[in-house]
Chain A
Amino acid sequence: MFKKTTFLAAVAVIALATTSNLHAQKPLAFKGAKIITMAGETIENGTIVFRDGKISDVGTDVKVPVEARVIDASDKVIMPGFVEAHTSSGMSQANETNPVVPYVSVIDSIDPMNAYFRSARRNGVTTVRVVPGNSTLIGGQAAVIKTGGEFIDDMVLKSDAGVKISLRPVSGSRMGHLAKLRKALDEAKRKLDKKNKAKEEKEDKDEDKEKDAKKKGVKKKDGDKDDKGKKKEAKKKDDDKKEGEKDEEKKDKDEKKDKKDNDKGKKKKKEDKDEKKSDDKKSKKKDEKDKPEEVESELDKAMFAILSGELPVMIYCDKAMDVGQAMRLIKQYNFEASLILGRECYKAAKQVADAKLPVVIDSQMVFFEEDPRTKEETKVVLPKVFRDHEVKFAFQVGRGGGTTLGSSYFWYQAATAVKYGMPAEEALEALTMLPAKFLGVDEFVGSIEKGKDADIIVLSGEPLSVDTWVDMTVVNGEIVYEKEKDEQLKLLLNGEAE
C-alpha cells in the first residue's frame, strides 16, 4: 500500500504544479482571515491580495481586483510562510568527500522533488537556507531558496548564502582538524596577501610612473642584478678601457687629471646605469604582457571571498569547546560569521551571548544529561538556557524520533520553546522575521507587508496549536500546497486514500 504512496505523491506534486501555473498570471486574494503580519499589528477579518508574486495589498479595507481569484478564508489564520535558517535536507548528498570545497554550491545538489520540500510545504516552510552538512571541513556554498518550484533556478532567492565550516572532526583529532582548517585558510590568506600586494604595487607603479623614472635611479641603485646588469658591468669595463686608452694618448697628464677622468668615468657609469634601468623596465613590462595572466582557481576565489568577508561563514560547533575555537577563528580571519550550535554548546551560552552573532540552535531542544560519576540526570532545555542569556536564536529541525516525536516539524520546535517559557509572539518571530534577518532576506520574506514576496500560509486555527494544520501554502503568489489535495497525507493518516 505504501508503494502506492510514492506514486500518488508524485502525481499530486505534478498536479499541484500544473494547477498553480495556470493561476500564475491571475491575482489571488484571501478574504476574511485573521492575518498575523509579523510586522506589528494583527488584522482581524482581513483581506490580502497577491499580484505578480508580490503582496500588493493587505488590510481590512482592501480593493480586490475583479479578475482576481478570491478564496474565502474566514475562520482561518494567515501568517507569513516560515523561514528555516538551516537545513541539510533537500540535497541528493549533504557532504563532500574532500574536506575543503568552498567552491561547490548546494544549488547543484538541490533536488526539488526531494521529500523534504513536500514536507516543508505541508508544514508551512516557504523559505529555507540549504546548507552543506556538518561532516565537511570547509563545505560548499549555501543558498536561500523557496520551497515551491520544479527547477532550482525558479527557487533561488539568494545563491551565495555562506559557507559552512565544521569544527567537528570526522576522523582524527580536533588538533589535526583545526590544523587542516588553518592550513587551508593560511594558504589562501598568503595568496590573497600576495595578490593584494601585487595589486597595490601595480597601482603604485602606474601612479608614480614618471616620478619613478627619476627617483628610482637613486633609490634602486643596487636593485637589479640580472643578466642585463652584468652586461652593463661588462660594458662599463669597456668604457673604462676606452677612457684608459685616451688617457694613454695623453700620457703626460698628472694624477689630478686621472682623478678627473675617473670621476668622469664614474659619472658616465651612472648615466649608463640609468639608461639600462629604463631599458629593464620596458622589457619587464613587455614580459608581463606576453606572459598569460595567472588563473585564479575556483578554490582561491571562494577562499578569498571568505577571507575578505564577502562570503559569510556558518561555523558549526559540535561541542561547547568549539564555540571558543570559533571565536578565535573569527577574530583571526575576520569572518562574517554565524553559529550553528550542536546541543552541547549550551554550556558556552555566555560566550555565544557575548559574540552577538546569528545563532541556530540544535534540533534536539530538550534532552537529558547524566553525570558520569553520580549518574544524576539533568534535563537540558536549550531555548530556556539561551533565552536566559538573552541570545536570539533560530530553530532547525531534526529527524524526529526519540523523546521529541515532533522535532522533525519546524513549527513544533517553536511550540516546544513556548512550552518552556518563550512568549508565543517571540516564538512566531523565530519562525519568520528573525531567520529572515539572519539570512539577509528580510526585505523579501518574513512578514506580511505590501511589496514583499507573496509567501504566506493559511492555517486552520491558531498557530502552534495541536489541532492546527496548514491548509494552504502560497509561494511567490502561487498555491504550492493544499491539504485537501494532499493524497499522500491522507494515505499516511488513514492508511488509505479517500
Chain B
Amino acid sequence: MAIVACVALPNTFADDNESSATLYKASKVYTMDGDPLSPGQVLVVDGKIKAVGKNVDLGGVDLGGVEAESVDLGDNSVLMPGLVDAYSQTPLSSTGMDEITSEVTLDFQAIHSIDWDKNALRRQLHAGTTTVNASPGTQNVMGGTAAIVKTMDHGETVLVENGAMLAAMCNDPASRNFSRSRPDTIYVRQPTNRMGVVWILRNTFDKAKRSTDKDTYTKLKESVAGERPLMMVSRMSYDIVTVGTLADEFGFKPILVGGEEAYKVKAELIERGYPLILKYDNPGTTRGAEGSELCWNNPGILAEAGLTFAIAGDNLLEKARFARRFGLDADVAMASITSTPAEIIGVSDRVGKIAAGYDADLIAFTGEPLELTTSIRWVMVNGKTTDHQKEN
C-alpha cells in the first residue's frame, strides 16, 4: 500500500489475512495516558496500537512488511479511546437478563445471553462504547457472572468470558416478588422486602463460607477471596451502608454499582475505598431508580472527596458531558468513561487508553469530546471502523 496523504476516511475493511498499517493524524489525541497530544498521531497495525506520539517515526517501527497508509483527520479532529462501559445489561437479549424463578443463580453466565444483533447494542457502539461489561440483571439476589466483550465483532473478542459476580443489594428482587397479587400464590416468595434481600445474601455468603462442596459455591468463594470481582448493586445510602456491613462480616471487597446516593455517604466510601461504578442515569431530574434522591453533581462531589469512579450505563458520552456541566472536572469526566472503568473491571492492560500495545479502539470526533455540539465521525474497534449508521 502506498502512503496516501489527506485521505478523509480510514481503510475500513482490512483483509484479515493481510497485514495493514494506518497512521491517523489528528489535531488532538486524548491518550488517557498522560497529557493529551496536540497534534497527535496514532499508528494502528493489525488491530493494535503500535505507536502514539506527536510525530510517529515510521522508520523505527516494524510494520510487518507493509507500508503504512496515512489518514489525516483534518482540522479540529480529536481522537480518544473507545469508551468502556463497566456495567450494562444492554448487550443481553431482552429475555435473557433476569432470572426470576430463583434468588441465587451463581452459575448463570451473561455471555450465553448476549444478542450481538441487538439494535440497542449497535446504538451504543455508534455512541462510542467499544467495550462493555455485560452483566446479569438485578431481579434476583445473585444473578450470575458478567462477561466483558467488544461491542462490534459478534463475540470474536471476548476479554473476560466468566467474570464478575453480580449481587443485588437493593430493592429490585423484593419489589418484583411483592408486586404479584396475593402472597399465597406460587409467584410470590421471599424476599418481599429489603430485610429478605439481606437475609438471602447473608445466608448465601454463609453457606459458601461453610461449604466444602466445591462445585456449588466455587465462584462465590473466589469472589469473597478477592480472586473474582464482586459487583453489588446499591443505590440508596442505607443500602450502601449495608454492603459495608456484609463485607465486614464475610471479608469481601465489593465493587459498588449504582451509587445514586453515594454523595450522602462519601465519608464512609472514602474509608472503605470500594471501587465505584456510578449509573448516573437522567441527570437533571430529581428522582432516580428506587426513588433515590438524585444530586446532579454526584460525580463532582465524589471526585472532590477523592473517590475514583466509573460512569456506566448507556450513552456514556452524554453522561460524561452532563457530569462535566454539573461540576465534574473535565479530565476526570473523560477518565470515568475510559481508563477508570477499564481498571475497575480489570481490563486496563488492553483497553481504555491510547498507548502502544493496546487494542485499537478509537473514537474520532469533530471537536472537543465533551462539547454538546461535537459529533462522532467514526468509532473503531480492533482497528475496524463502524460502517456509517443509516441516517435519515
**Chain A residues in the interface with B (C-beta under 8 A):** 1-2, 5, 346, 368-370, 375-381, 384-385, 400-401, 403-406, 408-409, 412, 415-416, 418-420, 424, 464-467, 492-495
Contacts known (A467-B325, A495-B264); A405 close to B284, Cβ less than 8 A: yes
**Secondary structure call for the A interface:** mixed
Contacts known (A377-B119, A378-B392, A415-B372); A406 close to B322, Cβ less than 8 A: yes
Q: List A contacts of B133 (CB < 8 A).
A: none
Chain B window 371-392, contacts with chain A (Cβ cutoff 8 Å), 1 for yes, 0 for no: 1111100000000000001111
**Chain B residues in the interface with A (C-beta under 8 A):** 119, 122-123, 126, 263-264, 282-286, 293, 295-298, 301, 314-315, 318-319, 321-322, 324-327, 370-375, 389-392
Contacts known (A379-B389, A466-B325, A466-B372); A405 close to B119, Cβ less than 8 A: no
Residue pair A419, B374 in contact (C-beta under 8 Å): yes
CA distance A406 to B315 in the complex (A): 12
* A421 (CB) vs chain B CBs: closest residue: B375
Shortest Cβ-Cβ A-B pairs, 4 listed = A495-B295, A415-B372, A418-B373, A377-B119
Q: List A contacts of B286 (CB < 8 A).
A: 2, 5, 492
CB distance from B43 to the nearest CB of A (A): 29
CB distance from A241 to the nearest CB of B (A): 91
Residue pair A381, B325 in contact (C-beta under 8 Å): no
Q: List B contacts of A409 (CB < 8 A).
A: 284
A-B contact pairs, 24 of them (CB 8 A): A346-B392, A375-B119, A377-B122, A379-B126, A380-B391, A403-B315, A406-B284, A408-B284, A412-B372, A420-B375, A464-B372, A464-B373, A465-B372, A466-B371, A467-B324, A467-B325, A492-B286, A492-B296, A493-B295, A493-B326, A493-B327, A494-B301, A495-B264, A495-B298
CA distance A403 to B120 in the complex (A): 11
Q: List B contacts of A406 (CB < 8 A).
A: 284, 318, 322, 372
CA distance A369 to B119 in the complex (A): 10
* A496 (CB) vs chain B CBs: closest residue: B295
Q: List A contacts of B375 (CB < 8 A).
A: 419-420
CA distance A408 to B296 in the complex (A): 15
CA distance A368 to B324 in the complex (A): 26
Residue pair A400, B370 in contact (C-beta under 8 Å): no
Q: List B contacts of A464 (CB < 8 A).
A: 372-373
Q: List A contacts of B325 (CB < 8 A).
A: 466-467
CB distance from B297 to the nearest CB of A (A): 4
Contacts known (A403-B314, A467-B324, A495-B263); A379 close to B391, Cβ less than 8 A: yes
CB distance from A295 to the nearest CB of B (A): 50
Q: List A contacts of B298 (CB < 8 A).
A: 495
CA distance A400 to B283 in the complex (A): 10
Q: List A contacts of B318 (CB < 8 A).
A: 403-406
- Scoring A384, A418, A493 by chain B CB atoms within 10 A of each residue's CB, the highest score goes to A493
Contacts known (A378-B391, A406-B372); A400 close to B285, Cβ less than 8 A: yes
- Scoring B321, B327, B370, B371 by chain A CB atoms within 10 A of each residue's CB, the highest score goes to B371
Residue pair B301, A400 in contact (C-beta under 8 Å): no
* A376 (CB) vs chain B CBs: closest residue: B390
Query: Besides A368-B119, A466-B324, A492-B295, 7 other CB < 8 A contacts?
Result: A376-B390, A400-B284, A403-B314, A419-B372, A419-B373, A494-B327, A495-B297
Q: List A contacts of B389 (CB < 8 A).
A: 379
Residue pair B391, A494 in contact (C-beta under 8 Å): no
Contacts known (A368-B123, A385-B392, A405-B283); A1 close to B293, Cβ less than 8 A: yes
CA distance A380 to B283 in the complex (A): 24
CA distance A315 to B372 in the complex (A): 31
CB distance from A372 to the nearest CB of B (A): 13
Residue pair B283, A494 in contact (C-beta under 8 Å): no
* A404 (CB) vs chain B CBs: closest residue: B318
Q: List A contacts of B373 (CB < 8 A).
A: 415, 418-419, 424, 464-465
Q: List A contacts of B321 (CB < 8 A).
A: 466
Contacts known (A403-B315, A420-B375); A493 close to B282, Cβ less than 8 A: no
